[in-house]
Amino acid sequence: MKKNLLGLVLFSLLFQFTFGQKKNIALTPPMGWNSWNTFRCDGLNEQLVKDIADKMVENGMRDAGYQYINLDDCWQIGRDSKGKIIVDSIKFPAGIQALADYIHSKGLKLGLYSDVGLMTCQKRPGGKHFEAIDAATYAEWGIDYLKYDFCFLPKSCDQNVDNRKTRSLAMSYLKGPKGCTAEEMYQVMANELAKQDREIVYSLCNWGVQNPWLWAGKMGHLWRTTGDIRPYFKGINLKYLGFYSIHKIIKFTDKNKLHLYAGPGNWNDPDMLEVGNGKLTLEENKAHFSMWAMMAAPLLAGNDLRSMSKETLSILTNKQVIAINQDALGKQGYRVDTKKGVQVWIKPLSEDKWAVCFYNPKGKRKIQYDWKRLNLSKTLKKWRNVWEEEQEPFKQSFELLIPKNGVAMFIVE
């Protein structure tokens, strides 16, 4: 009996070591900030990251739940003779480990960016063939989050050297030889992260290629579902051709029923927030933040926290919307109804509550609505408007005036 038990234990350890059993973390969608949407490559540096961390503490974002300060592409410039990644010493003179110590001293966590391919999307060193040394290095430095991109795969994978120029539709069918499917490539780093004595959130950023929601949950904590977002709400924008609008991402999420694949430690990632960026209106910013909360998406701010308006800060720190996103039940919301072009989304919450969001991607709409349409009315007793902070006795039917590209959002119980 003892021999059998010992054998089972050894097999379990061997399985975890070999196949990369992921850490049981990110039980609610990660919240934080990422450098890319505003600062791209040229604007990223050590002082900026420290300033953002300081501001996140000062303005209350940390206390509202934002944890991660994530460096995107361009923090690295090469590898030494042993293959260890080299930090750009001009941008980060004190090094990443010292920066991690600073971020941790603020009660925050630090994230880095790399790539499953030979190079990152900005042609910095990728992780292909260096997964073991990179994972160990990240753990040594005290890294808490790894975003792993999908550019510059080896030619042998038959998926185009530069995958940014490859259509997602075609990519779904170009599997390549053994070891070249997206699932197989991302598993390599997952195995190495599992060996580290550190909890590191693993964020797969392959833009939805080969439907990661079907397989990424066994190795990662979140996975990108679409191409990159840009700060415009919907339609065609000549400046952002080839990228995704906020509405296009919502539409894709709904069409593919992605809520079926989400849960604690497994999150669909519709890309980082553009709240406060571009020419988004106040109502569009609120709708963007609301729908990301309904979709149980990671809330990773992408604006300049040092200079944002009071309105932007109030959106990013709305406690009730954040509570919907971070609810312990870990359910992703989904569309259940449409009336006069207004979509009705619901998200189950703990303690027998529901989040209900009326999402209007059209012009201003006035609608009469009856809770009977949702088959929830027998259990509902009161409702609260999360943007207007109104709490009222439950009404069976009611009237809503929803602005263009806006929302009306409620918690009902």
CATH 2.60.40.1180 fits 335-412, yes or no: yes
* DSSP state, residue 35: S
Residue 7 has pLDDT above 80, yes or no: no
Q: By C-alpha distance, which of 190, 187, 247 is closest to 405?
A: 247
> Which pTM value belongs to this model?
0.92
Active-site residue (options: 72, 115, 144, 149): 149
The verdict on whether 228 is a catalytic residue reads yes
Q: What is the mean pLDDT of the chain?
A: 91
Taking CA 270 as the corner, what is the angle to CA 266 and CA 272, rounded to the nearest 5 degrees? 105
Residue 165 has pLDDT above 90, yes or no: no
Residue 183 has pLDDT above 90, yes or no: yes
DSSP result, 184-205: HHHHHHHHHHHTSSS--EEEE-
Q: Which letter, b or e, does each residue of 366-389 get, where b requires 16 or more Cβ atoms within 10 Å of its Cβ?
A: ebebebeebeeeeebeebbebbee
Q: What are φ and ψ of residue 34, in 5° steps? A: -130, 145
Average pLDDT over residues 19-23: 77
Give the pLDDT score at 378.
61
Give the pLDDT score at 175.
52
Residues 91-123 have pLDDT tens digits of: 999 999 999 999 999 999 999 999 999 999 999
Average pLDDT over residues 6-18: 39
CATH 1.20.120.160 fits 17-332, yes or no: no
Domain boundaries along the sequence of the chain: 17-332, 335-412
Residue 13 has pLDDT above 60, yes or no: no
CA–CA dist 89, 94 (Å, integer): 7
CA–CA dist 172, 364 (Å, integer): 38
Active-site residue (options: 51, 162, 228, 254): 228
Q: By C-alpha distance, which of 363, 295, 367 is closest to 324?
A: 295
Give the pLDDT score at 154.
82
**Residue 363 parent element (H or E):** none
